[in-house]
A and B are shown apart, each in its own frame.
Chain A
């Protein structure tokens, strides 16, 4: 049962990743792209979780921790950069 569920989750998350990529490419401005990047990071966390169940290797959870941390730091950095100004080309 869990096996089938992981396959289904892989399929759903793959579609979700493609949709997030569409938003990342379409933009229209940098904040929208940051939203898409953040969504991709949380999708990857979900993917890692499903993969960890699929393979039976529990160490992948650590990768999920790092992924969540990186996504937050990236969002904070982007927000600070946008607010403080600087050259933008979006």
Chain B
């Protein structure tokens, strides 16, 4: 019974992982611009790889394999978002065009591509209110 359950769970995790990675690849082909493609490949791809590795841990069910599989999963889950952020940031700075249906591009007025300076709305507000504060004090 336990054998059967473990086998079923392993097969299920393998299939789920494979399906998620297939969805990630379909998203990478069909989605219209860089950030949306990153969204598909990072989330679905990382979860798919993690699930298949977890299936390996479940299949062999011994300490050494499980420890290495856990290391791979932790590594994937930690690095996938960082790598996606780096690529997305670099792509925006390089000037990769966004999809024409994009509704909101909050960086457009706040980022200076020459000097790589990013002004946040918060510091602007703080500077204005600080100026008022000083004016009132004087």
Contacts and interface: CB of A to CB of B under 8 A. Distances in A.
Nearest to B30: A19
B60 A58 contact: yes
Interface of A (DSSP majority class) = helix
Interface in A39-90: 39, 42-43, 45-46, 49-50, 52-53, 58, 61-62, 64-65, 68-69, 71-72, 75-76, 78-80, 82-83, 88
Contacts, number: 180
B26 to A, nearest CB: 6
Contacts of A61: 53, 56, 65, 68-69, 72
B91 A82 contact: yes
Interface residues of B, number: 56
Interface string B2-31: 000001101110110111011011101100
A42 B96 contact: no
A17 B45 CA distance: 12
B132 interface: no
Given A76-B83, A79-B89, A39 B55 contact: no
Interface of B: 7-8, 10-12, 14-15, 17-19, 21-22, 24-26, 28-29, 34, 37-38, 41-42, 45-46, 48-49, 52-53, 55-56, 59-60, 62, 64-65, 68-69, 71-72, 75-76, 79-80, 82-84, 86-91, 93-94, 96, 116
